Each structure stands twice: as structure tokens, then as C-alpha cells.
Amino acid sequence: DAKTTQPTSMDCAEGRAANLPCNHSTISGNEYVYWYRQIHSQGPQYIIHGLKNNETNEMASLIITEDRKSSTLILPHATLRDTAVYYCIVSRGGGADGLTFGKGTHLIIQP
């Protein structure tokens, strides 16, 4: 799996959009970008994934650059419950491969 680079930590004000960047410059053509988050002492929660088109679901939006070397996860209206470690992972599509977790970004939502 390709490696990803994320900032160690970020702050965001409650109610604002949280934009979490991720670099994955060595991503292969058949690899997707997955985002998960982990709230303290819980299992990771799936957020969203995409190949090359931008994606949106009820939790977040995923913006992938045209060259696919980086992406941004957007939480449109952050709440205190969004405080967590966010992991950007690249992996072959289908979810059948074990995931390689990096250190992630610790997002802290400030009241």
C-alpha cells in the first residue's frame, strides 16, 4: 500500500468546516483513498472513500486532486463529537485487503 502523510494535529472551531489534508503522492492507479476516524478507546469508524471523483455522503465530502496525489476530507459543520483521530489510507478497492494505518491527524474541535 502507498504511504500517506497527514498533519499530526489540527484545531477547528465548532460549527465551522474542518478540512483535513492528506498527501499520497505514490498512490497507484488501482488504489482508493479511504478515510476512517477513531474516537478515543473505540474502533475506527468508516467515513468515506473515493478513487478519483469527488465524493459526498451524510458525514463528509472527499476532494481528490486531479493527479490523485493528495486529497482533503471536509466535515462541513464540525461538532464537538467530531473530535477524533482521522486516518487517510490508500488501498486497493473492494476492502478485501488489510489496511495500513499511519499516525493520522488528531482533530480537536474547540467550543
Partner 1 sequence: GAVVSQHPSWVICKSGTSVKIECRSLDFQATTMFWYRQFPKQSLMLMATSNEGSKATYEQGVEKDKFLINHASLTLSTLTVTSAHPEDSSFYICSAKGRAQDTQYFGPGTRLTVL
Mapped onto helix, strand or coil, the DSSP state of residue 10 is strand
- Going by C-alpha positions, the residue among 69, 54, 62 that lies closest to residue 37 is 62
Q: Based on the shown chain and the rule CB under 8 A, indicate whether residue 30 belongs to the binding site for partner 1.
A: no
For residue 34, give the amino acid letter: Y
For residues 45-104, which are near partner 1 according to CB under 8 A? Answer: 45-46, 49, 87, 93-104
Q: Based on the shown chain and the rule CB under 8 A, indicate whether residue 21 belongs to the binding site for partner 1.
A: no
- Number of residues that this document lists for the chain: 111
Q: Based on the shown chain and the rule CB under 8 A, indicate whether residue 40 belongs to the binding site for partner 1.
A: no
Query: Residues interacting with partner 1, by CB under 8 A?
Result: 34, 36, 38, 41-46, 49, 87, 93-104
